[in-house]
Chains A and B, each alone.
Chain A
C-alpha cells in the first residue's frame, strides 16, 4: 500500500511540477516576443521558432513539468497535487519582484499570502486517500 507520508524525493517531484510549468511558460513568452510576427501564409516560421534557444528551453521545461505531474498523480491525490503545486505562482511573483524588479500591488501580496496558506493546509494532510481494500471473492467450489 502506498505511504501517505511523502519522501524527500516525492517533495522534489512536487517542487519540479511547481517550478517547471511557470518557468516554461516564461521562457516561451520571452522567446515568442523575440520572434517576428507569424502569419498563416508562412507557417514554416513557427517550426523555425521551435528551435530558438528560449522556446526550445521552454518546451523542455514543459515536458519536464508533464513528466513530474504524471509521476506525482501516480502516488498522490489530484486534490493534493493541484493546490500543492500552485506554489509555482508565488515563485513567479517573487522572481518578478526581486529579479525583474516589477512592482507588486497589495492585492497580489494578499494573493501570495492566501496561496501560501492554502499550500500549508494541504501539505499537512495525507497525500493519498486510502480506500478500504475490497473483499476477496470467495472461490465457488462445485460440489459434485
Chain B
C-alpha cells in the first residue's frame, strides 16, 4: 500500500533519496572501472568475436559488483517512490547523480574532470531537474 507523503521534511526526503544516489554512483563507478580493466570492447569483438566480448565482460568480478549496486539503487528508488512523490524523487536523483558521478570519477577513476566537464555536469544537472520537475 502506498503511503506517499506530499510535503516531506528535508531530512525525511534526504534519508530516502541519498541511498538511491549513493548506490547508483557506486554502481556506475564500479561498472566503469570494470569496463576500463577489460579494455576496448570493439577491439575485443574484432579479435575474438561477440562471444569473446561477452566472455570478457561476464568473467569480470568488478562488473558484477557494479551491477549489484545498480540493482540496490533500483530497489532504493522503489522504496523512495513508496513514500515520496515521483515529481520529487525522479528529478532530484537523476540530476544529483550526475554531480556525484563527476566527483567520484575524479577521485576513484582518476578522470580528468576539467572546467569543461564540471560545467557540463552542472548544466545537465540543472537541465534534467527543470525537464523532469
Asked whether, in the complex, the Cβ of A79 is within 8 Å of the Cβ of B119, the reply is: no
* Docked pose: A113 CA to B123 CA in angstroms: 9
Interface string of B111-130 (1 = CB under 8 A from A): 11110110111111011111
Number of A-B residue pairs, CB cutoff 8 Å, is 120
* Docked pose: A94 CA to B38 CA in angstroms: 36
Asked whether, in the complex, the Cβ of A82 is within 8 Å of the Cβ of B98, the reply is: yes
A interface residue count range (under 10 / 10 to 19 / 20 to 34 / 35 or more) = 35 or more
Name the A residues within 8 Å of B35 (CB-CB): 70, 73-74
Residue of B nearest to A2 (CB): B40
Task: Count B interface residues, CB 8 Å.
Answer: 39
Interface string of A52-64 (1 = CB under 8 A from B): 0000000000000
With beta carbons under 8 angstroms apart, the residue of B32, B41, B131, B132 that contacts A71 is: B41
**Chain B contact residues: helix, strand, loop or mixed:** helix
Interface string of B77-113 (1 = CB under 8 A from A): 0000000000000000000001001100110011111
Asked if A131 is an interface residue, CB under 8 A from chain B, the answer is: yes
Asked if A89 is an interface residue, CB under 8 A from chain B, the answer is: yes
A71, A79, A112: which has the most chain B beta carbons within 10 Å? Answer: A79
* B interface residue numbers (CB < 8 A to A): 28-29, 31-32, 35-36, 38-42, 57, 98, 101-102, 105-106, 109-114, 116-117, 119-124, 126-133
